[in-house]
A and B are shown apart, each in its own frame.
Chain A
């Protein structure tokens, strides 16, 4: 056997989940110890936001999480609305729901693709990212931007959906539903994938909540917990949808005790189906009316003093904004809780010992660690 040696995964490494790095101490094929190193993407958002007006922060926040920027806009807007005491128009809530769910699908497609790619099925990543592009086309049609939309504002959404939005969205959803069996054959029903992914990278179920695991990773551990149901925001309280969680994997075989790479992938695929269902309902039930509150002059907002914590369920887990105002024109403090903060650092460092070095990257990808959320 080899003696203990050091191995760097990242920042310049295909196995690193974005611009971050893991330092591994391994012996033979087994990881002995792991250390997460972040900071390669630190821009000091929280500092910059203290220097900018409430409104000027809107274009800034979406840059915090790149694969799914809309949750940042939504959470920041909700925090401001909370402090201001605004109730946004009904139609805006539905539009927010549609946008957030589209963003969730796009993020999940990318994540599922990258998990598969980290195990070697590059075809899945190519398909996933290729299909995600059709969702970006919808975003472009609705908001004008492909990646950063700056569409959800405090007080509603910037403008109404275009007239052909319903047809555009339905077309893409139909296409995705048609594609899903192909993804299943390629990834989750693939025997070699099951061999590689089942029972690997397990987050202990009894520790999951204590360690701060949230989102699809928590549901893969067998908890039926989702902030869209626990603390409904946007229009989620009026929409009927299911929360896929561990023993109920629908059409997928249960091949392990859950909380592993396979289950986390399956949960994400099932969430795409649920998201499609939510969007269809929202498109059907959406009322007519205004989409933006009548607001005071944008650059003269004074937000009442107070503390506000709002959370949204992002594709990675709980995404929270802690906003503190002293009644001034600028926030005193904005603190962002990214879901990857715990997943990427504590959970990864704790479950890494004993992993095979071949399984390390897939585990990180299946936890969907997104470094910009960690260091902001």
Chain B
């Protein structure tokens, strides 16, 4: 078998077996239990929630992120094994949503880690979540969900942004020039 055939097979298999991290980062975590349990049952699509990031493939960022949580989230993301996917959940991961003027929530998740797919709404309904996962599966099948490659490629830029957010000030992070984010 050729290399491409193998990776295609791997993609087909991995899209049917997405394990996600059991990490409730925000209030969006409230709509996850219904999705995982008897009413909507994500296990039909092979999705289950795993206890530790090492075992997982999908990082579901459920809602707003306080800076303190972002620190843990980055750790969790870096512990996960490639290939890994990030789903941004709710309006707060897109632009801050309800908390656009809050001093403690980051506004745009894509500045700190690559996001493969967003789910809009506050909070998104279970149907929307399932739809997003099906789209993610589609993307994996086509080989479009390549956020993890992007994280490797622009690692320095992501790290710079994370550092800026963690320290709550921009001026301390000067050592990395914007141009050479490779």
> Within the complex, are A and B direct neighbours (CB within 8 Å)?
yes
Chain A residues close to B by CB (< 8 Å): 11-14, 18-19, 39-44, 47-48, 51, 59-60, 63, 66-67, 110, 125-127, 129-130, 132-133, 136, 146-148, 372
B72 near A40 with CB under 8 A, answer yes
Residues of A within 8 A of B27 (CB): 41, 63, 66, 372
A48 near B69 with CB under 8 A, answer no
Residues of A within 8 A of B104 (CB): 42-44
Given A12-B53, A47-B103, A60-B98, check contact A40 B22 (CB 8 Å).
no
- Please report the C-alpha to C-alpha distance between residue A372 and residue B24 in the assembled complex, in whole angstroms: 12
Residues of B within 8 A of A43 (CB): 64, 66, 99, 102, 104-105
Chain B nearest CB from A60 CB (Å) reads: 7
Given A12-B22, A13-B51, A14-B51, check contact A110 B33 (CB 8 Å).
yes
Further 7 A-B residue pairs, CB within 8 A, beyond A12-B21, A19-B29: A13-B22, A41-B26, A42-B66, A42-B104, A43-B102, A47-B102, A59-B98
B69 near A129 with CB under 8 A, answer no
- Please report the C-alpha to C-alpha distance between residue A351 and residue B142 in the assembled complex, in whole angstroms: 53
Chain A nearest CB from B60 CB (Å) reads: 12
B99 near A129 with CB under 8 A, answer no
Residues of A within 8 A of B69 (CB): 11, 19, 40-41
- Please report the C-alpha to C-alpha distance between residue A39 and residue B26 in the assembled complex, in whole angstroms: 11
A130 near B26 with CB under 8 A, answer no
A12 near B99 with CB under 8 A, answer no
Contact residue among A12, A51, A110 (Cβ-Cβ distance under 8 Å from B76): A12
Residues of A within 8 A of B33 (CB): 110, 125, 129
Interface residue B122 (Cβ < 8 Å from any Cβ of A)? yes
Stretch of B34-42, B130-138, B154-162 on the interface side = B34-42
Chain B residues close to A by CB (< 8 Å): 21-27, 29-31, 33-34, 37-39, 51-53, 64, 66, 68-69, 72, 76, 98-99, 101-105, 122-123, 125
A125 near B123 with CB under 8 A, answer no
Residues of B within 8 A of A130 (CB): 34, 37-39
Contact residue among B24, B34, B39, B105 (Cβ-Cβ distance under 8 Å from A19): B24
A148 near B102 with CB under 8 A, answer no
Residues of B within 8 A of A127 (CB): 38
Residue of A nearest to B21 (CB): A12
Of the A-B pairs whose beta carbons lie under 8 Å apart in the complex, a sample of 27, sorted by A's number, is: A11-B69, A12-B52, A12-B76, A13-B22, A13-B51, A14-B22, A19-B23, A19-B29, A41-B26, A42-B66, A43-B102, A44-B103, A44-B104, A47-B102, A60-B98, A66-B29, A67-B30, A125-B37, A126-B37, A129-B34, A129-B37, A129-B39, A130-B34, A130-B39, A136-B34, A147-B30, A147-B31
Residues of B within 8 A of A132 (CB): 34
Chain B nearest CB from A104 CB (Å) reads: 16
B51 near A39 with CB under 8 A, answer no
Given A19-B24, A60-B98, check contact A42 B68 (CB 8 Å).
yes
Residues of A within 8 A of B68 (CB): 39-40, 42
Given A40-B66, A51-B101, A372-B27, check contact A133 B123 (CB 8 Å).
no
A18 near B125 with CB under 8 A, answer no
Residues of A within 8 A of B39 (CB): 129-130, 133
- Please report the C-alpha to C-alpha distance between residue A39 and residue B71 in the assembled complex, in whole angstroms: 12
Residues of B within 8 A of A146 (CB): 31, 123, 125
Residues of A within 8 A of B31 (CB): 146-147
A11 near B102 with CB under 8 A, answer no
Residue of B nearest to A136 (CB): B34
Contact residue among A18, A59, A125, A126 (Cβ-Cβ distance under 8 Å from B24): A18
Chain A nearest CB from B171 CB (Å) reads: 23
Which of B33, B72, B76 gathers the greatest number of chain A CB atoms within 10 Å?
B33
Contact residue among B29, B34, B72 (Cβ-Cβ distance under 8 Å from A133): B34
Residues of A within 8 A of B123 (CB): 146-148
B29 near A63 with CB under 8 A, answer no
A19 near B26 with CB under 8 A, answer yes
A148 near B122 with CB under 8 A, answer yes
Residues of B within 8 A of A63 (CB): 27, 98
Residues of A within 8 A of B23 (CB): 11-12, 19
- Please report the C-alpha to C-alpha distance between residue A59 and residue B122 in the assembled complex, in whole angstroms: 11
- Please report the C-alpha to C-alpha distance between residue A136 and residue B40 in the assembled complex, in whole angstroms: 13
- Please report the C-alpha to C-alpha distance between residue A126 and residue B52 in the assembled complex, in whole angstroms: 21
Residues of A within 8 A of B30 (CB): 66-67, 147
Chain A nearest CB from B55 CB (Å) reads: 12
- Please report the C-alpha to C-alpha distance between residue A125 and residue B39 in the assembled complex, in whole angstroms: 12
Residues of B within 8 A of A11 (CB): 23, 69, 72
- Please report the C-alpha to C-alpha distance between residue A51 and residue B102 in the assembled complex, in whole angstroms: 10
